[in-house]
Amino acid sequence: MAIDDELSPLPSVTEGGRALQFFTDRYEFTRLFAIALNQDPPRQQILFFHGDGGNGKSLLLKFLRQRCCKRLSRSLWQQVQGRSDADLANYIEKLQPNECEGIPAALLDFGMQPIGNNQPQHPFYGLLMLRRNLAESAAELRYRLRFPLYDFACIWYLHKKESRRRKSKRCFR
């Protein structure tokens, strides 16, 4: 072992995928999320989480997206919704794909640094990232989501943007 190894910092518990292993005690948020997914008819409101920076919102969203995006059958939901927060959260997390319906989900991290066309804070490219991630998530679940009007709007926007760029070049010649 080199002497540098002893002086180097230990890896963070929250680095990469390690944080989800230690994510616990967020049962009330899992219940709230499960209610939003399983309510019949579906609610017409957006569920959002807010709070001070560094208290785990991004990790909570990653946890919910990876482990709790599951819709139960109506009869199964009727049976389990009366459970305690902890029991319901643990039950949903352990459900197998053949016991529920997976729900496509995408996470758009506005704190991500822009790389090429991956620019989450940009109004156009951020929506393209969201569309691409949602389509990939759906494909993993064997769904095929299509966005024909959105795709047409993107092409039209790029077409208009290019024609404006050409006009402005002609004006400066």
Confidence of residue 104 (pLDDT cuts 50, 70, 90): very high
Written as six digits, the tokens of 106 are 């995408």
| Residue ranges of domains in the chain | 1-103, 109-173
pTM as predicted = 0.74
Instruction: Give residue-wise pLDDT tens across range 110-150.
Output: 778 888 878 888 888 899 999 999 999 999 999 988 999 99
Q: Residue type at 155?
A: I
Q: Do residues 118 and 151 touch, judged by C-beta distance below 8 A?
A: no
pLDDT of residue 80: 95
Average pLDDT of the chain to the nearest whole number: 84
